[in-house]
């Protein structure tokens, strides 16, 4: 074997091993992010009660804005890392939860509700976002715990074989493509909605700037 072949083999082993380690780390760490997402979303009543106790308005504003930034940032990071479930090669060749794409789709639905409606002021929108988050977390937690992490348990071997992507690649790919189509539809709807909102804002600004400003008449001076 030539030195170049040895170098290429070592490089390929490092790259493939590193990619597998990265995917396994993301899949194992996603339950933590899902838990933080649920805690921050369901902890809204606690945050509101704390705001009522703040005597300083600046402190209340800082507390509320910090909560909103952390809640939405964790949700976005969780969805971004869940994108590994939409790669066909990773789904087929790795032991991933077969319902991972559906969980990511539910996460995007919750995000769409937050972007399209005032979740913090609308009780119905808050309930819809909560339902999507709880459903997505259930789809991920159940399969991750009882199929991926419990593969050493013989009495769960049948469950693990059904709900593991590498053991059931055909169903895993069908679920992935359906979920990916749903993600594309929701992303397109959000894009059209954002474009329409930007057009309305620009039209409103142009209409406001084109209005002639009335010049105040000078006040007559009494003799």
Taking only the tens place, the pLDDT of each residue in 40-62 is: 988 888 888 887 777 667 777 88
Instruction: Please state the rounded mean pLDDT for residues 1-20.
Output: 65
Please say if the pLDDT value at position 193 is more than 50.
Answer: yes
Q: Per the domain annotation, does 214 fall within a domain?
A: no
The answer on pLDDT for 222 being more than 60 is no
Domain count for the chain: 1
210 occurs within a structural domain: no
Q: What is the pTM of this model?
A: 0.80
At how many degrees (to 10) do helices 57-81 and 3-42 cross?
Answer: 140
Question: Does the residue 211 lie in any domain?
Answer: no
What was the pLDDT predicted at 80? 92
- Please report the pLDDT score of residue 206 as a whole number: 75
Residue 216 lies in a domain: no
> pLDDT higher for 213 or 99?
99
Read off the pLDDT band of 27 (50, 70, 90): confident
Comparison of pLDDT for 152 and 1, the residue scoring more? 152
Question: Does 223 map to a domain?
Answer: no
Give the structural domain span for 82.
3-200
Q: What is the pLDDT of residues 86-137, one digit of tens each?
A: 988 888 888 888 999 999 999 999 999 988 888 888 889 889 999 999 999 9
Q: Look at residue 125 and tell me if it is in a domain.
A: yes
CB 97 within 8 A of CB 143: yes
User: What span, in angstroms and rounded, lies between the C-alpha atoms of 139 and 109?
Assistant: 14
- The Cβ of residue 171 has, within 10 Å, a number of other Cβ atoms equal to 13
Residue 95 lies in a domain: yes
């Amino acid at each position: 074997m030539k030195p170049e072949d040895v170098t290429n083999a070592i490089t390929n082993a490092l790259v493939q091993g590193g990619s597998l380690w990265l995917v396994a780390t993301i899949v194992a760490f996603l339950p933590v992010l899902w838990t933080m997402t649920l805690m921050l979303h369901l902890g809204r009543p606690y945050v509101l009660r704390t705001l009522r106790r703040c005597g300083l308005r600046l402190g209340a504003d800082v507390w509320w804005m910090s909560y909103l930034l952390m809640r939405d940032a964790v949700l976005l990071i969780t969805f971004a890392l869940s994108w590994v479930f939409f790669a066909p090669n990773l789904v087929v060749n790795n032991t991933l939860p077969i319902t991972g794409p559906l969980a990511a789709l539910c996460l995007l639905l919750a995000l769409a509700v937050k972007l399209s409606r005032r979740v913090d002021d609308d009780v119905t929108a808050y309930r819809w976002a909560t339902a999507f988050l709880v459903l997505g977390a259930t789809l991920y937690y159940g399969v991750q715990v009882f199929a991926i992490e419990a593969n050493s348990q013989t009495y769960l071997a049948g469950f693990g074989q059904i709900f593991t992507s590498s053991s059931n690649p055909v169903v895993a790919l069908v679920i992935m493509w359906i979920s990916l189509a749903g993600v594309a539809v929701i992303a397109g709807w959000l894009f059209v909605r954002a474009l329409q909102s930007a057009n309305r804002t620009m039209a409103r600004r142009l209409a406001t700037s084109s209005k002639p400003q009335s010049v105040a008449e000078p006040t007559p001076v009494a003799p």
